[in-house]
């Protein structure tokens, strides 16, 4: 007989409950309680919605929450809903428009996040300042050179702004809920507007190696913002002033204007920053003329200086030349001889734009105004070409005078301005010489520049074929040898002449 003994615990065990393997204690399987519902919001302290400013917003939410983000004005009225049913923490921005699409005015605005989960509800809020800030006017400074508009309303038809005059301005930063842009540089090279005080952006002139400054007068509404702002322009340093309404900031260019004569078109962005965050920005367009230096005319009066209508195309043609008198004069010879569409008068050799007052060689008077308008056509002679070249040069700061070469002499082979082939008889078979020839020199005939003609530079100017040799810094002796076939002309009557 087998006896079975069954051992039973003294306390019954509920087999339906799991036990801790170490201690045999029951484990609680009820779901844990969720963390408290939380919502937080941060935002930029200020922005200018008229000038590309935005409020950068960061919302942090508890898991499982749904949130709504809205904006209220200072009265507490809700003006915009930015997000509905936001389910996760996120960052986004607001450009300052209400629900109707209208840009909000300057003031303090409250951004609120409201979060719900099950039956819980929490909210958080932060304030931001919608501001208005920008340049109402600007003045280019440094060693500015005068500019002349030769069809202005001043005495004799010339107008020139003082070198310390306001460069650009607007009447107000805002009109009809939109930003007013600063004017772009005045495009009319020979005409000034009837109203010159507001809404015009005047170009300015400097020696090429000058360092311009720009002083900007600010206007706006900071909506009570009590944090310090800064301003910046790339390539320029703020050297004076602090940001605020009715304040003036002075910036200085970090480098010289240019490495040689040219037109410098500056597209600047004036930025306003809080800490390192841009709260708004404004476009500033400038046109700056980089000259070799101040004008070199001897005469004084309203006509003597740098005419905008003359220097603008000349400097554009000279861009890239070295900053030396020889390079500028050589570039002007090329500009006049090749690019102006001018032709030599092979019928009479007569002047179209120059007359010698009183019959004196030293009293050449050049009607530059008529020439720029081509009022007498495109056919010129040597007196015209010499005056055109010296007129441009002296406006740009390259010292140049005209000379006379005579008496009568016969020509070697030359290529006249606008001509297609070399000839020694530009006036036909019976016209193989000059009674006189006007040309230019910076040093009394030691060095010659001539835009009337090109010499034959192949070493044999008495015979064809010809090789074009522009007269760009040729010695007076070499010039006469290449030009004169028969005769003994000499250089004389060095003068600057007069212009109108």
Contacts 24+ apart (CB under 8 A), 253-259: 253/211, 253/212, 253/213, 253/214, 255/211, 256/208, 256/209, 256/210, 256/211, 257/206, 257/207, 257/208, 257/209, 257/210, 257/211, 257/212, 257/288, 257/290, 258/208, 258/209, 258/290, 259/208, 259/323
At 199 the pLDDT is 83
Strands (E), 357-467: 364-366, 379-380, 401-406, 409-411, 414-416, 433-434, 437-441, 447-456
Q: pTM for the full model?
A: 0.90
User: What's the DSSP call for residue 320?
Assistant: T
Query: Which phi and psi angles does 452 have, rounded to 5°?
Result: -75, -35
At 5 the pLDDT is 29
Q: Give residue 296's region: left, alpha or beta (phi > 0; psi -120 to 50).
A: alpha
At 196 the pLDDT is 67
Question: For the chain, which residues score pLDDT lower than 50?
Answer: 1-23
Query: Which phi and psi angles does 420 have, rounded to 5°?
Result: -110, -15
Cβ atoms of 123 and 112 within 8 Å: the answer is yes
CA 413 to chain centre: 46
At 315 the pLDDT is 98
- Kindly list the domain boundaries of the chain, sorted by start residue: 39-130, 132-291, 324-499
At 28 the pLDDT is 59
By CB neighbour count within 10 A (0-12 exposed, 13-18 middle, 19+ buried), where does 206 fall? buried
The CATH label, of 3.90.1200.10, 2.60.40.4070, 3.50.50.60, 3.20.20.80, for the domain at 39-130 is 2.60.40.4070
At 152 the pLDDT is 76
At 30 the pLDDT is 66
pLDDT digits (tens, 9 = 90+) for 467-491: 999 999 999 999 999 999 999 999 9
Joined together, the tokens standing for residue 489 give 């002309």
Distance CA 91, CA 72 (A): 19
């Amino acid at each position: 007989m087998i006896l079975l003994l069954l051992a039973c615990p003294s306390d019954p065990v509920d087999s339906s409950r799991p036990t801790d393997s170490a201690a045999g204690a029951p484990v609680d399987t009820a779901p844990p309680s969720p963390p408290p519902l939380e919502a937080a919001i941060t935002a930029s302290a200020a922005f200018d919605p008229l000038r590309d400013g935005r409020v950068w917003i960061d919302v942090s939410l508890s898991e499982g929450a749904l949130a709504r983000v809205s904006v209220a004005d200072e009265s507490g009225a809700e003006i915009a809903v930015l997000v509905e049913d936001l389910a996760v923490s996120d960052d986004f921005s607001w450009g300052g428009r209400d629900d109707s699409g209208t840009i909000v005015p300057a003031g303090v605005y409250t951004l609120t996040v409201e979060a719900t989960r099950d039956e819980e509800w929490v909210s958080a809020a932060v304030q931001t300042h919608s501001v208005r800030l920008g340049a109402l006017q600007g003045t280019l400074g440094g060693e500015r050179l005068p500019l002349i508009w030769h069809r202005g309303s001043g005495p004799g038809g010339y107008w020139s702004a003082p070198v310390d005059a306001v460069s650009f301005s607007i009447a107000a930063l805002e009109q009809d809920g939109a930003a007013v842009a600063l004017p772009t540089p005045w495009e009319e090279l020979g005409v000034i507007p009837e109203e010159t005080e507001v809404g015009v952006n005047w170009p300015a002139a400097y020696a090429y190696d000058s360092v311009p400054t720009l002083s900007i007068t600010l206007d706006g509404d900071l909506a009570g913002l009590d944090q310090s702002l800064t301003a910046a322009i790339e390539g320029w340093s703020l050297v004076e002033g602090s940001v605020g309404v009715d304040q003036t900031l002075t910036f200085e260019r970090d480098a010289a204007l240019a490495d040689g004569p040219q037109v410098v078109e500056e597209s600047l962005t004036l930025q306003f920053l809080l800490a390192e965050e841009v709260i708004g920005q404004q476009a500033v367009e400038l046109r700056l003329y980089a000259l070799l230096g101040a004008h070199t005319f001897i005469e004084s009066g309203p006509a003597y200086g740098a005419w905008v209508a003359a220097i603008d195309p000349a400097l554009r043609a000279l861009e890239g030349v070295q900053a030396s008198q020889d390079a500028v004069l050589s570039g002007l010879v090329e500009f006049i001889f090749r690019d102006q569409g001018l032709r030599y008068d092979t019928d009479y050799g007569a002047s179209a734009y120059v007359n010698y007052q009183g019959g004196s060689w030293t009293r050449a008077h050049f009607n530059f105004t008529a020439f720029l308008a081509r009022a007498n056509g495109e056919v010129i002679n040597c007196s015209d070409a010499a005056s055109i070249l010296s007129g441009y040069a002296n406006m740009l700061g390259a010292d140049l005078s005209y000379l006379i070469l005579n008496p009568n002499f016969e020509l070697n082979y030359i290529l006249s301005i606008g001509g297609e082939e070399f000839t020694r008889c530009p006036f036909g078979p019976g016209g193989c010489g000059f009674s006189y020839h006007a040309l230019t020199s910076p040093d009394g005939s030691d060095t010659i520049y001539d835009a009337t003609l090109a010499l034959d530079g192949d070493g044999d100017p008495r015979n064809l074929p010809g090789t074009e040799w522009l007269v760009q810094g040729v010695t007076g002796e070499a010039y006469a040898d290449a030009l004169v076939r028969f005769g003994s002309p000499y250089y004389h009557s060095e003068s600057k002449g007069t212009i109108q």
